Amino acid sequence: MHIPDGFINGATSAGFGVAAAGGVGAALRQTGKYLSERQVPLAGLVAAFVFAAQMVNFPVVSGMSGHLLGGVLAAVLVGPWAGFVVVAVVLLVQGIFFADGGLSALGLNIVNLGFIGAVGGYAIYRALLRALPKNQRGVIVSAGIAAGIAVPLAALGFVIQYAIGGTVDISMGTVLTAMLGTHVLIGIGEGIITAFVIAAVVRSRPDLVYGAPQYTGVRTEVLS
């Protein structure tokens, strides 16, 4: 569920819109070094994959289902900056074509799910991988935990936006508890699913996984 119009006031939404545009611009400069001609169709297909994965529900408990957000998944698979670009494109398409997430809230959503979710989540992934063995298991576990943490972190992004420009008279404490409470649970699902998906890819094609030590493409940063 993306932030709709009207939840955060106009000035804050516009401010985050500018920040998101700047962030995407910076990500493009980062990826420009390797998001070459070859990568444009690829990024499009990865975006289609993330969008499709978000549309397909998986079971949580009997009768209830959830879906993937995919920030860390995209970042580990194609790199943090390309992952950010992919998530931003997914949100743009959802907002403009599918009316999912408000047009005025696009910047808010891109900052939360793209910047915090993908770039922030990837930073957590790298930190975990440094501590864990650099084998397949280490990659899978790090990705799962990072995805699990990134979801409540993105929810925290919303809480900060709400603190700056929320239009609803609900106390910060209540918003924080409600958002974190639900998103810790969502994060558990996200972490498990992300780990399973990464496991499936890293076992068959580890050379495609940007965040895995066996990656054969060009990285924008050095894996320590």
Partner 1 sequence: MAGGHVHALYRHGESALHGLLPQTKIAAAFLFVFAVVATPREAFWAFGSYAFILIGLAAYAGLGIKFVATRMIVEIPFVIASLAFPFIAGGDKVTVLGIQLSQSGLWDMWNVLAKATLGLLTSIVLAGTTEIPNMLKGLDALRVPRVITAIMGFMIRYLDVVLGEFRRMRVAMRSRGHDPKWLGHARPYAASAGAIFVRSYERGERVYLAMASRGYAGHMPRSTIEPAPATQWLGVLAVPMFAWLIVALAWWSL
Footprint on residues 34-73 left by partner 1 (CB under 8 A):
35-38, 40-49, 51-53, 55-62, 67-68
Q: What tokens does 130 get?
A: 């440094």
Tell which one of 18, 22, 33, 103 touches partner 1 (CB under 8 A): 103
- Give the distance, in angstroms, between the CA of residue 63 and the centroid of all CA atoms in the same chain: 26
Quote the CA–CA distance of 115 and 132 in Å, as a whole number: 24
How far is 169 from 2, CA to CA, in rounded Å? Answer: 20
Candidate residues 34, 100, 134, 180; the one interacting with partner 1 per rule CB under 8 A: 100
- CA 169 to chain CA centroid, nearest Å: 29
Site for partner 1 in 70-89 (CB under 8 A): 77, 85-86, 88-89
Q: How far is 158 from 179, CA to CA, in rounded Å?
A: 8
Task: Name which of 130 and 205 has its Cβ closer to partner 1.
Answer: 205
Q: Of 48 and 132, which CB lies nearer to partner 1 in the complex structure?
A: 48
Cβ neighbours of 155 (radius 10 Å):
23
By CB under 8 A, tell whether 18 contacts partner 1: no
Measured from the CB atom, is 123 or 175 closer to partner 1? Answer: 175
Q: By CB under 8 A, is residue 6 in contact with partner 1?
A: yes
Encoded one letter per residue, x for contact with partner 1 by CB under 8 A and - for no contact, window 191-220 reads: -xx-xxxxxxx--xx--x------------
Q: Supply the DSSP symbol for 206.
A: G
